[in-house]
Amino acid sequence: NAGVTQTPKFRILKIGQSMTLQCAQDMNHNYMYWYRQDPGMGLKLIYYSVGAGITDKGEVPNGYNVSRSTTEDFPLRLELAAPSQTSVYFCASSFGGETGRGNTEAFFGQGTRLTVV
Partner 1 sequence: GNSVTQMEGPVTLSEEAFLTINCTYTATGYPSLFWYVQYPGEGLQLLLKATKADDKGSNKGFEATYRKETTSFHLEKGSVQVSDSAVYFCALNYGGSQGNLIFGKGTKLSVKP
Segment interacting with partner 1, rule: CB under 8 A, options 18-26, 36-44, 67-75, 79-87: 36-44
CA distance 82 to 79: 9
What letter does residue 97 receive in the DSSP assignment? H
For the bound state, the minimum distance from the C-beta of residue 107 to partner 1, rounded and expressed in Å, comes to 8
**Does residue 109 touch partner 1 according to CB under 8 A?**
yes
Q: Is 8 left (phi over 0), alpha (psi -120 to 50) or beta?
A: beta
Which of 62/102 has CB closer to partner 1?
102
> What CA–CA distance (Å, rounded) separates 62 from 82?
11
For the chain, give the number of residues: 117
Residues in contact with partner 1 by the rule CB under 8 A:
4, 31, 33, 35, 41-43, 45, 48, 50, 56, 58, 90, 92, 94, 96-97, 100-111
